[in-house]
């Protein structure tokens, strides 16, 4: 009987250690291997940090608005053509829950009753976007920032060239 109790206690301890380890690294924080395509997309997007915001802008020379930035990055880095409207972009690809975000996914925000802002998720709760209010330029922000957390609405995954090769 003592051996059975000892085995039971050991099993509980091992399960507890496994659960504790999982809690230290929740699924969204587990290390992820990025495809070359997604790495290229993210690196390309980061090249435009500091480019000025311009309403209706769609190039580094003229400046970017949020959807113009996302459209430019996806068309140049992935040869994926998407519309120049955050509302229209929000209807593309697959719906993703926030805790299932992967780098390269698109994050959308609403400030009224409709989608009005979009950015590209970088990982670790960070996203890159053309911001009109904070810096007036392409910048990296945190989804955990009170302002962005309050207005986060949805996320979408747009198929990349790596997805098409599968």
Considering Cα of 101, then 149, then 64, then 48, what sign does the dihedral take?
Answer: negative
Q: Is the pLDDT of residue 160 over 80?
A: no
10 is catalytic: no
What pLDDT, on a 0 to 100 scale, did the predictor assign at position 163?
60
Tally of residues, the chain:
166
What does the DSSP 8-state code read for residue 140?
E
Q: Which of 10, 99, 129, 151 is catalytic?
A: 129
What pLDDT, on a 0 to 100 scale, did the predictor assign at position 50?
96
What pLDDT, on a 0 to 100 scale, did the predictor assign at position 162?
57
Instruction: State pTM to two decimals.
Output: 0.79
* Domain boundary assignment for the chain: 36-158
What would the pLDDT profile of 4-27 be if each residue is shown by its tens digit? 433 333 333 333 433 333 334 444
Q: Is the pLDDT of residue 129 over 70?
A: yes
117 is catalytic: yes
> CA-CA distance, 114 to 124, in Å (whole number)?
26
b/e map 4-38, b = 16+ CB within 10 Å: eeeeeeeeeeeeeeeeeeeeeeeeeeeeeeebebb
Class for domain 36-158, per CATH?
A: alpha beta
What does the DSSP 8-state code read for residue 135?
S
Q: Whose CA is closest to 112, among 72, 153, 164?
A: 153
What pLDDT, on a 0 to 100 scale, did the predictor assign at position 7?
35
Residues paired with residue 157 on neighbouring β-strands, in sequence order: 94
What would the pLDDT profile of 63-106 be if each residue is shown by its tens digit? 999 999 999 999 999 999 999 999 999 999 999 999 999 999 99
Percent of the chain with pLDDT over 90: 71
What pLDDT, on a 0 to 100 scale, did the predictor assign at position 159?
86
Q: Is the pLDDT of residue 138 over 70?
A: yes
66 is catalytic: yes
Q: Which of 15, 66, 99, 151 is catalytic?
A: 66
Q: Please, what is the average pLDDT of the chain?
A: 83
Q: Which two tokens stand for residue 44?
A: 């390309």
> CA-CA distance, 143 to 75, in Å (whole number)?
25
**Rounded mean pLDDT, 117-130:** 98
Give the 3-state secondary structure of residue 40: helix
């Amino acid at each position: 009987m003592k051996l059975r109790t000892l085995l039971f206690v050991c099993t509980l301890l091992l399960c507890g250690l496994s659960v504790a380890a999982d809690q230290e690294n929740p699924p969204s924080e587990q290390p992820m291997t990025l495809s070359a395509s997604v790495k290229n997309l993210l690196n390309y997007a980061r090249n435009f940090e500091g480019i000025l915001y311009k309403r209706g802008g769609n190039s580094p020379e003229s400046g970017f608005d949020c959807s113009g930035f996302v459209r430019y990055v996806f068309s140049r880095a992935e040869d994926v053509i998407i519309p120049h409207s955050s509302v229209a972009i929000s209807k593309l690809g697959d719906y993703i829950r926030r805790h299932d975000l992967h780098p390269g996914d698109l994050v959308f925000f609403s400030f009224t009753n409709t989608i009005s802002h979009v950015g590209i998720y970088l990982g670790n709760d960070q996203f890159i976007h053309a911001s009109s209010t904070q810096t007036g330029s392409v910048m990296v922000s945190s989804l955990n920032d009170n302002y962005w957390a309050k207005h986060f609405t949805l996320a979408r995954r747009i198929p990349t060239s790596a997805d098409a090769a599968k």
